[in-house]
Amino acid sequence: MATKEAFQEELNPFTIAKQQFNKAADYLDLDASLRNVLSSPKRQLIVSIPVKMDGGDVQVFEGYRVQHNIARGPAKGGIRYHPNVTLDEVKALASWMTWKCATVGIPYGGGKGGVICDPKRMSKSELERLTRRYAFEIAPIIGPDRDIPAPDVYTDEQTMAWIMDTISMVRGHTELGVVTGKPISLGGSQGRSEATARGCLYALREACQVKGIDLKGARVAVHGFGNAGANIARLAAADGARVVAAADSKAGIYSETGIDIPAALKYKAETKSLSGFPGTKEMSPEDIIGVDCDILLPSALENAITLANVGQVKAKIIAELANGPTTPGADQVLFDNGVFLVPDILANAGGVTVSYYEWVQDQNSFFWSEKQINETLEQTMRTAFNSVHETADRYQTDMRTGAYILAVDRVAEATSVRGIFP
């Protein structure tokens, strides 16, 4: 029987990230030296963030910025505010960003940031002071050509505006390209706010073709109802899917006939929760994983589908909007059971792809229409999906491993060609 420590280690995000990398490296027969380089974060910064609270006292928060790999371009990755942020989690997320960018073929490496805090218990002015001090502390290692942060869990375009302004003040000139996911008025891109979900929709359409499922009329369950989850629910419903279940951090709701998503979005905005939404049966958020549906969309945090609950999954297709929602053990069970899983480094890559478009627009001071953004995103996502699917078929493996083989091979080639300095 596994010890408690072993079970916790199995769910450690960075341990999982390394397992996923090593599986692909085995297929590619990478030598030990290259494995050591590609599995090790390039740079890890830990900062103390003193913040004057509204009550007059000063609290000190801990923050991180990790740059995993920059062989193919500057580091890219979000910043999350959450009470459970850890350095290992940020290291894992940074490595997943490396592989994600390589999977969709954009010229970035992987980075990620996080601050241990509970944003739900902080005022807007406290969050602004926290954000500005955090931005100042990580300023030496970020920039348009070095590392470009973006929004993630409990951060948004306002957070990015504060970071952009802080860095601009420090450097003495406006630096639009230092972050992405900004408001349109500050060099943000059309289509960015729904890009993660829209990219997933394009990948989901391809997955439905592979599995012979018509998205129109398909029963969909969405686990997590933040920006990505709410948007994919709306977009899938607009495509004709029947969203039968949805969950936020407080409650899950279910309706066999389908949830009225526009009404649910309005209800959530007004009450801050899906709990009590009329015409639905309430359940715990965790129970959404086992709902009878055709398509399951994990859109919350990592480790949502584990060996403990994977047996409850009834979906035929899973597309991961969250980062790391499925553990390696659960992955194998799903593959053995014939579930078609579109992995996070492909399914949620729409966000970083449109962030790349935003960065390109900022660097050139020339902005695209939303139609152009969405058409280019669809082309990128379809090409990436087909490349991953072809790789998985060629190696007779699952889609996640196929994506990793494709991504690791691309980063390994760039690293080998560049060589080691000095």
Give catalytic residues, as residue numbers: 112
Characterize 136-162 residue by residue with b for buried, 16 or more Cβ atoms within 10 angstroms of its Cβ, and e for exposed.
bbbeeebebeebbbbbbbbbebebbbb
* Cα dist from 247 to 91, 120, 169, 259, 283, whole Å: 27, 18, 40, 12, 9
CA–CA separation, 329 vs 310, rounded Å?
Answer: 9
Q: Rounded to an integer, what is the distance from CA 339 to the centroid of its chain?
A: 21
Overall residue count recorded for the chain in this entry:
422
- Cα Rg, the chain, nearest whole Å: 21
Task: Identify whether 119 is preceded by a cis peptide bond (ω within 30 of 0).
Answer: no
CA–CA separation, 95 vs 87, rounded Å?
Answer: 12
CA–CA separation, 190 vs 414, rounded Å?
Answer: 31
Positive/negative CA dihedral, 394, 395, 399, 405:
negative
Positive/negative CA dihedral, 110, 116, 119, 123:
negative
Which one-letter DSSP state was computed for residue 172?
Answer: T
**3-class secondary-structure state, position 81:** strand
Element (H, E) at 381: helix 370-394
In order, the DSSP letters of 121-149 are GS-HHHHHHHHHHHHHHHGGG-BTTTEEE
Contacts of 87 (CB under 8 A, 6+ apart): 44, 46, 64, 66
Residue 245, beta-bridge partner list = 221, 254
The half-sphere exposure of 102 on its side-chain side, counting CA atoms within 13 A, is: 29
The β-bridge relationship of strands 75-82 and 147-151 is parallel
Residue at token pair 């009470």: 83
Residue 393 CB coordination number (10 Å): 11
Q: Is residue 378 a contact partner of residue 202, using CB atoms and an 8 Å limit?
A: yes
